[in-house]
A and B are shown apart, each in its own frame.
Chain A
C-alpha cells in the first residue's frame, strides 16, 4: 500500500514538473508570472494555515513577517550600485551597502529574520487568545510596517526598494513551494503535528496530557513566520520592487481568503485555493476595466474585482464554512474510495 502511494506521489510530481517545463517553454511571460505567483501563495497560505488551521491561533500578522523577509533578502542580494541608486535620500548603512550574498543564502536569511521577529512578537502575544490574539498580531504587523517606513537608512523608508534582482524563476518558486508542502505534510502527520492539533482542539486537555502548550504555540508561530518571510522574499524577487504600503493588512486578507477558501487545516485545500484564487484574480481583472455589455457601457470600475473577492470570502464563510476541503486532505486512498483508482486488496492504510 505504502509503496503504491509513494510511486503515485513520485509520478504526480514528475507529471507536474513536466507540465511546468512545458509551460515554461510555451507560455508567455504574463501567464508564467501568474503561475509563479500561485506558487508563492502556496507558501504563504501554508504559513498562515499552520498557525490558523493546525494550531488554532488566529493570527493576522502575516504581512509584517513577509515584509521582514522581503526586505532582508532584497537588501542582501542587491548589488552595491543598485543600492546606491535606491538610497538617494539617505545612504544605506555602510556594512550593508557593500554586502551581496548568493540568493539561496539571502532567502534563508530572510526567513530566519522573519522567524526571529516571529519569536520576539510571539512570546508576549501568544499569551492572548482568539480575537485578542488576532488584533495584537495585526497590531504588530502594522508596527513592523511603521518601523520599516521610518528606518530610512536601512530600508529606504516610504520610497521602498527598486530593481531587486529577479531571482524568483519558475523552478525556484515551485521548488520552494514543493519543499514547503512536503514539510507541512510531514509535520502535520507526525507526533508533533498531533500536539499542534491537540492545542487547537482543547488547550486545557492538551496541557493536561503533557503538551507544553505555550511552547508549541511559540514554535508553530515562529515556523509560520519563517515561511511567511520566505514567501515575502520570493514575492520581492518576483515583482522586483517593494515598499511598506505593499505589506498592509490587505495582503494578509488575501492570504486569509485563500486559507479559508481552501479549508482551515487542509494542506491540499490551501494549494488548490492558492492556484484558484491567483488565477481568478487575474481572470477577473477585466472587471476593473471598461465593460461593454451590449446594452450599457461602464467606464472602468477599479475595485470591482475586490468587491467580487470580498463577496466570495463572505459567501464561503456563511454558506460553506469549511471551505473547499474542510480539514480533510486529498489522498491516494481517498481517490481509491471514490473509485478513481483500482482497489487494492486490503483497503487503504494511509
Chain B
C-alpha cells in the first residue's frame, strides 16, 4: 500500500512554507511587536523632536517624515527576515526540510512571502500614525494604498538581501547587529528625515548613491502629483532586478549551508 504522491511544484511548496510561517507568527504574536511599536514610536519621536527645527512645525514636517518612517520601518521589518532564517536554520527542523523532495527555494520564498504580513502591518501602522498626527495627503486614498504597496514591495526586495546575509552569517545575533547597522546607515544617510538641500555636499553625494533616497523620492512625488511617476517605475524595475540577482544567490547560500 503506497501513499499517493503528487509531484509537488515550486508554487505549492512555497505556499505550504508560507502557511507554516504564518502559523508560526499566529502562535507567537509577540513577534509582531516590533513592526507595530517601532513605527509609532519613531513617528512620534522624530515628528515632535525635529518637526520644528527642520520644517518649522510638526504638520509641515509630516509630508517629509511619513514616507521616511514608512521606508525605515520596511527596512527594519525586512532585516528581521534574515535573523529569522538564521534561527530556523540553526534549529533541527531545517534538516528535515532539506531531506524532503521539495523545491530548494520553497523554504526561503515561503518565509519571505509570509514576512510580507509583517511588512503590511508595518506599513499600515506607519501611515495610520501619520494620519493621527495630522498628515493629510492631498491625493486620494488610492494613491496612499499605491505608495504603501510600493513600500512593501521594496521591503520584500530587501528581505532577499537580508536573507542572504542571514545565511552567510555565523549566528542570529551577528545577523541582528549587522542588520541594525545597515538599517541605520541606509535610512539616515538619505533624504528620509532631512531635505537633500540641507545636507552638506559629501553627505548629499552619499545620499544620492543610496537606493533608499530614490524610493522615498518616488513616494513623495506620487503623493505630491497623484500620478505614477517615472521614478516609481525605476524603483519597480530595479526591485525586480535585485530579486533576480539575490534570489539565486540566496538559494545557493542555502544549499551550501
Are A and B physically bound partners? no
Chain B residues with a Cβ under 8 A of chain A:
none
